[in-house]
């Protein structure tokens, strides 16, 4: 908050910002219990971890990462899949669904490919979930020349870039403004990604430079 205010020209310190936040009832949103979305009980092949927690990329389309999260509504869960370019925090592909099947991640991947025009040689990193290991998903990766990379078993830090995004959207949107229907949740996510997160949100540089900083962000 302090950095954002300084960027727009206000000379203000952390203590004053903290005091003003308390006076106006503004507080940080605490992290909630994690819901497991990866299903690793299958017989698909597992790719090696080519990314190896090296989240730096010198140019776009060198390293992508994908994962799945969720949003609770009164109509039950809404699942969100994203594809992120590690050169910047930008979300280049995303999709939502009321189920967690492979078509969810395929739609997010196809959006990213359409947006970035088949980046041959790009490392594509995900967890070991059955959606990402499925034959249909891996076929698309082969067709477009991706180098497949996967996290270690049950290790969220290996994909900390996307975990950081999910923590951000939950704290800034999902937990603050619960939606009654999946449709309203979908529209809110669309507005957040395309109207705020990608074009306007200020991103903390340290979390994109150091694996240790990533671990602190998702802890």
- Kindly list the averaged pLDDT for each block of 10 residues, start to end, along the chain of length 219: 65 75 66 50 76 94 96 92 92 96 97 90 96 96 96 88 93 88 95 93 53 50
Q: How many CA atoms lie within 13 A of 183 on its CB side?
A: 0
Closest CA to 131 of 193, 69, 86: 69
Residue with tokens 């205010």: 5
**CA atoms of 138 and 134, how far apart (whole Å):** 6
* CATH class of the structural domain 63-218: alpha beta
Q: Where are the domains of the chain?
A: 1-30, 63-218
% helix / strand / coil in the chain, to the nearest 5? 40, 15, 40
What pLDDT shows up at residue 9? 66
Q: Are strands 91-97 and 123-126 parallel, antiparallel or unpaired?
A: unpaired
Which strands form 91-97's sheet, in the order they lie side by side? 91-97, 76-85, 63-73, 123-126, 147-150
Residue 205 CA from chain centroid, whole number:
16
């Amino acid at each position: 908050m302090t950095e954002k205010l300084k960027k727009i020209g206000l000379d203000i310190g952390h203590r004053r910002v903290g005091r003003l936040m308390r006076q106006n009832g503004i507080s940080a949103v605490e992290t909630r219990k994690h819901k497991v979305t990866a299903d690793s009980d299958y017989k698909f092949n597992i790719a090696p971890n080519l990314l190896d927690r090296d989240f730096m990329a010198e140019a776009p389309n060198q390293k992508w990462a994908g994962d799945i999260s969720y949003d609770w509504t009164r109509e039950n869960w809404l699942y969100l899949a994203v594809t992120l370019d590690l050169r910047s925090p930008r979300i280049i592909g995303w999709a939502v669904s009321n189920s967690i099947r492979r078509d969810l991640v395929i739609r997010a991947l196809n959006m990213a490919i359409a947006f970035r025009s088949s980046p041959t040689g790009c490392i594509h990193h995900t967890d070991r979930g059955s959606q990402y290991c499925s034959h249909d998903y891996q076929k698309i990766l082969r067709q477009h020349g991706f180098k497949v990379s996967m996290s270690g078993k049950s290790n969220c830090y290996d994909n900390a870039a996307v975990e950081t995004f999910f923590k951000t959207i939950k704290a800034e949107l999902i937990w603050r403004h619960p939606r009654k229907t999946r449709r309203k949740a979908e529209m809110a996510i669309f507005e957040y990604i395309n109207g705020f997160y990608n074009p306007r949100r200020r991103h903390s540089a340290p979390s994109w430079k150091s694996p240790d900083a990533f671990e602190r962000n998702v802890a």
